[in-house]
Amino acid sequence: MSIPVSVRDLRVRYGDTVALDGLSFDLAGGKIYGLLGRNGSGKTTLLSVLAAFRRASAGTVLVDGEDPFENARITRRVCLVRDNVDAEDTDRVGAVLGLAAELRPDFDADYAARLAKQFDLPLRKRVSGLSRGGRSALGVTIGLATRAPLTIFDESYLGLDAPSRYAFYQELVADYAEHPRTIILSTHLIEEVANLFEEVLIIDRGRLLVHEETDALRRRGATVTGPADAVDAFVAGTELAALGEKRLGGTKATTIYGALTEDQRRDATAARLEITPVGLQELFIQLTAAGNRR
């Protein structure tokens, strides 16, 4: 079972610092969402509010139609897995998994045991004795096995090596297909996980920059390449935003953001310009570059 999320005019302040500034969006639920943003953009603060770890300074946050803060019914149905495991260093791995099973009504102990074996988690070892990769493995095991209707991974898998990360991605997709729920992935490893996202949210300096279906967002980015004068004339004629450019001699490549019409594409072909798609990571980099920030 998945649950929807609705955020309206969300603001969070830390003293004089505004971490989130009037953020509004809706997640219908039952999808895998990608949350992207540069360091300090407010991603972790947002996820902490959704999981009731932090109270909003202003605005409205509804998870399954209710304010999650100090709401036991909602918090039992939300699982936030952070970079550091929420456990005491003296706790043993097996005990941490046991506690998760007690607190989470949908926890699958058999699945957790299989994941622990797959990620080589030593159940009798204390959390303090785990490597960073081991802590990440423990976190993702809890996040997957909990099967919370709203499951959030906040950079929790970065400590895993590449083979383990891809094993996590495969497990996530397979288990999500069998047990649909609302999943939010916050990550800097965009190229690795871009194909998992059904929708993408990009926040920048505490504000929502983009919220769109992943395929639609990809279609909005394109690079126009050809003679510099011809590229400039074409881009100016489209009236689309030019996010960045590269030059090599007389050749220029300009990244644009917006939907090109079929007529515009024909005009580009007639002008001997090449139009190529832009990957999600490159588009994110261009949209959040200092010169393009709104």
Tell me, letter by letter, the H, E, C secondary structure of 115-179.
HHHHCCCCCCCEHHHCCHHHHHHHHHHHHHHHCCCEEEEECCCCCCCHHHHHHHHHHHHHHHHHC
Residue 292 has pLDDT above 70, yes or no: no
Q: Are residues 73 and 21 in the same domain?
A: yes
Q: Are residues 255 and 169 in the same domain?
A: no
237 vs 229: CA distance, rounded Å = 12
Pick the last residue of a domain from 165, 185, 205. Answer: 205
User: CA nearest 286: which of 249, 259, 257?
Assistant: 257
Report if residue 79 sits inside a domain. Answer: yes
Read off the pLDDT of each residue in 57-71 and give the average, rounded to a whole number. Answer: 96
At residue 197, the 3 state secondary structure works out as coil
Q: How many domains does the chain have?
A: 2
DSSP β-bridge partners for residue 62: 6
What CATH number has the domain bearing residue 44? 3.40.50.300
Residue 291 has pLDDT above 70, yes or no: no
Taking CB atoms within 8 Å and a gap of at least 24, the contacts of 209-217 are 209/287, 209/288, 209/294, 210/287, 211/25, 214/34, 214/280, 217/280, 217/283
Residue 267 has pLDDT above 90, yes or no: yes
Read off the pLDDT of each residue in 179-203 and give the average, rounded to a whole number. Answer: 95
Read off the pLDDT of each residue in 26-36 and give the average, rounded to a whole number. Answer: 96
Model pTM above 0.95: no
Q: Are residues 230 and 129 in the same domain?
A: no
Residue 167 has pLDDT above 90, yes or no: yes
Task: State percent of the chain over pLDDT 90.
Answer: 83
Report if residue 261 sits inside a domain. Answer: yes
Question: What are the structure tokens assigned to 13, written together?
Answer: 């302040």
**DSSP classification of residue 261:** P
Q: Are residues 101 and 227 in the same domain?
A: no
Report if residue 256 sits inside a domain. Answer: yes
Q: Are residues 246 and 111 in the same domain?
A: no
Q: Are residues 48 and 157 in the same domain?
A: yes
What CATH number has the domain bearing residue 270? 3.30.70.240
293 vs 287: CA distance, rounded Å = 7
Pick the last residue of a domain from 205, 239, 264. Answer: 205
Q: Which domain holds residue 63?
A: 5-205
Mean pLDDT of the chain: 93
Q: Are residues 189 and 258 in the same domain?
A: no
Per-residue pLDDT at 79: 95
Report if residue 212 sits inside a domain. Answer: no
Q: Are residues 227 and 92 in the same domain?
A: no
Report if residue 169 sits inside a domain. Answer: yes
Q: Are residues 94 and 73 in the same domain?
A: yes
Question: What are the structure tokens assigned to 174, written together?
Answer: 């397979």
Q: Are residues 189 and 259 in the same domain?
A: no
Per-residue pLDDT at 239: 86
Are 51 and 68 within 8 A, CB to CB? yes
**DSSP classification of residue 259:** P
Task: State percent of the chain over pLDDT 70.
Answer: 98
Pick the last residue of a domain from 205, 240, 260. Answer: 205
**DSSP classification of residue 194:** G
Report if residue 211 sits inside a domain. Answer: no
Q: Are residues 74 and 125 in the same domain?
A: yes
Q: Are residues 130 and 153 in the same domain?
A: yes
Q: Pairing state of beta strands 274-277 and 241-248?
A: unpaired
